[in-house]
Each structure stands twice: as C-alpha cells, then as structure tokens.
Amino acid sequence: MSEEDQTSVPIEGGTSSGNSKAEDISSGLDRSEPKNNNQTGDAGDKEPETGKKSRLPLSLTHWFGISGLILIISSVVSGVLNHFLITPFALGISLIGAVWYISVRRRSSSDGVIFYSHSQILYYWPIWLGAFVISDLVEIPGIAMSITIADVETMLAPPQMALFHLLVVAVVVFFTSVNIRGVWAVVFAVTLLAMGLTLSVMNWWPQVFQYLGGLSLHADQGFYRVMGVVLFLPWLLVVFVFDIRRYFHFLPTQIKMVNEIGEGEKTYDSIGVVMEKKRDNFMQHMALGFGSGDVILIPKVADREVITFPNVLRINKVLDQIQEIREKRGRNLH
C-alpha cells in the first residue's frame, strides 16, 4: 500500500484556531434577535427591491428525485405507446433509491457523520445497465436481426454488442475480484476495452471465433432483459436497503459502529482514534465506485483492534466532514 494511496486522519486532541474572543462576539451576534427588520434587511428571505421571497435553488437531492420521476414516466409512456424501454425505468428507480439513501443518512447523522460499508455488488452496475441498453437497442429497426422460430418472430442482438457486453462483464468481475494496484490497473482495463472495441468495430470477431472452432454468439432481447433484471433487483436491495443497516456514526466525543441486523452496537472513544483511507484498486474505487474507498479505523483500546470498513462512497467528503467535527471539538476544548 503506497503512501499516495493512503490518507491518515489522526483523531487526537483539538487545536485552537482564530481569535476566540472574536468568535464569541460573532456567535453572540448570531444568537441575538434583530430589533429592527428594516435595519437587518432579511437579505436571505427577501429581495432588496421587491421585498418578495427569493426562490431557493434546488438541491442535488431534488434534482435526483425529479430526474428519476421523469425517467420512470417516460418509460411507462413508451410502453403504452409502443415498446417498454427498461433502461430509463431502471435508472429512474436508481435515482429514487439515491434520494432515499441520502435522506436516511442525513436524518440519522444530524449531530455527526454517518458512513456506510457497501458490498462488492455495488460495482456491478455496468453489467445490468449494459444488458438493459442492449435490450432496448434491439427495438430500433435496422439494428437487430430477426428470425422466426415456431411461427414466433424473435429479435436477436448483433453479435458485436453481445461480445462487447461479455467483455464488460469480464472486466467488472476481474477488477472486483483481483486487486491490481496503481497505473497497471488502468493500463490493463483500457487495453482490454480497446481490444474488444476494435475487434467489434472492424468486425474481426467472426474471424477470431472461426479460429476457435467456428463459434457463433447470438442472444435475443429476452435474454438481456432477464439478465439485467436478475442482477438489478439484488443490486437495488443490497445497495439501498441491506448495506445501510451497518454503519459508523462519528460523533464529537465517540464513535458508534452499528449493526442493525445481528451484532448490535459498539462504542469507542473518538479521542486517540486513527482513521486511514485506502484506495489501491483504481478501477474498482474510482471508475466503478465514483470515488469510493476503504476506511481502516484503529480505536484507542488496549488490544488496538483494527476495523476495516470497505467500499465507503465519497470517502474524501466523509473524511473532510470528520475533520470539521474534530476541529470544532478542539475549539470547544479551548
């Protein structure tokens, strides 16, 4: 584990910052009520000229919810008019799940910071997303190949799409199972994807399979749709329901490790705790996890127990929030 892949955040004693007297005066002004609204202006609630309430910008959570509803409605409308498109429906459900995830975390961590440990299935989203995209592309005239089996017309996806999706599956499974560190992970993944895409664009896969004994790969729309659903439903339940039942709650004076299913709750003193960020699998944590990482926590106890919390989303922001709590605690101590 290289030095650049780790970030240690020692949670020991606090540090004073700024002029404490000035802070006390400013905090006292913040707590006092204005005597004259005309003097204070209420700039946050009213516009200076019209006096009307200004419109607050929508937060990221609101945009997720609105976008999710739009995607779900568009998918249902497409099903009523012609063919049901499952890709926007799945993406819409995922965004609604993200809204639920953010609201639960925000409600539970009103007086601290909460972060969750996710399962490896978190990184399998390209597999079900690719399967849904191919199943929807088959509906476009001119892309799919139609055959009739027992007087039933069946739409087959192009072999190039099938092969490329198999390559995506191989890359995801490989990098979530084997830990290749640093730049070698990027080089290996980019090389595999470039090779697969080149063979698909140049239509060289038939020659490759001809050398392998005349193999031919054909899959219909139903296969991709079933494959996506079989993987999407467990992914949805694990990421947005089961994984949030085990979490760390970092408070100014203590740290709680909560297991809502099974083991219960453990509490550690936050003073003397060392937290370490580990992000040595670039493809898994950055490309597939959008900035996830592992948290290693060493509490100040007799046996120096080492606790590993894998696959924490937005790990940098979590550590920044913990650092803010530590600095506030330091100012309170002084």
pLDDT tens for each residue of 125-136: 999 999 999 999
Is 142 or 235 the better-scoring residue by pLDDT? 235
**Cβ contacts of 41 within 8 Å, gap of 6 or more:** 48
Q: With beta carbons less than 8 A apart as the criterion, state whether 250 and 275 touch.
A: no
Tell me what pLDDT residue 263 has.
62
pLDDT for 71 beyond 50: yes
Tell me what pLDDT residue 332 has.
58
Sheet holding 307-312, edge to edge: 6-11, 273-278, 293-298, 307-312
Tell me what pLDDT residue 15 has.
39
End-to-end CA distance of the chain: 37
Range from 43-52, 71-80, 246-255 that averages highest in pLDDT: 71-80
Write out the two tokens for 267.
């509490």
CA 120/CA 245 separation, integer angstroms: 16
- Per-residue pLDDT, averaged over 144-171, amounts to 79
How does strand 246-250 pair with strand 113-116?
antiparallel
pLDDT digits (tens, 9 = 90+) for 272-305: 777 888 877 777 888 888 888 888 888 776 566 7
pLDDT band at 261 (very low <50, low <70, confident <90, very high): low
Tell me what the pLDDT averaged over the chain comes to. Answer: 75
**How many CA atoms does the CB half-sphere of 325 hold within 13 Å?**
24
Q: How far is CA 61 from CA 94, 99, 100, 116, 297, in A?
A: 13, 6, 9, 18, 29
Tell me what pLDDT residue 290 has.
84
What does the DSSP 8-state code read for residue 55? Answer: P
pLDDT for 323 beyond 50: yes
Tell me what pLDDT residue 195 has.
81
Q: What angle (nearest 5°) sits at the alpha carbon of residue 224, between those of residues 223 and 230?
A: 90
Q: Find the DSSP H helices in 82-204.
A: 86-108, 125-137, 159-177, 182-201
Is 9 or 72 the better-scoring residue by pLDDT? 72
pLDDT for 179 beyond 80: no
CA 162/CA 165 separation, integer angstroms: 5
CA 139/CA 164 separation, integer angstroms: 19
pLDDT digits (tens, 9 = 90+) for 227-256: 999 999 999 999 998 888 888 888 877 888
Q: Which helix (H) or strand (E) holds 202?
A: none
> Can you state the angle between helices 221-237 and 125-137, rounded to 10 degrees?
150
Tell me what pLDDT residue 122 has.
92
Write out the two tokens for 276.
């370490």
Write out the two tokens for 143.
């892309």
pLDDT for 72 beyond 70: yes
pLDDT for 168 beyond 70: yes
CB atoms within 10 A of CB 122: 19
Is 109 or 58 the better-scoring residue by pLDDT? 58
**How many CA atoms does the CB half-sphere of 285 hold within 13 Å?**
24
> Can you state the angle between helices 159-177 and 125-137, rounded to 10 degrees?
170
Tell me what pLDDT residue 330 has.
59
Is 86 or 153 the better-scoring residue by pLDDT? 86
- Per-residue pLDDT, averaged over 176-184, amounts to 74
pLDDT digits (tens, 9 = 90+) for 197-216: 787 778 777 777 777 776 77
How many residues in total does the chain contain? 334
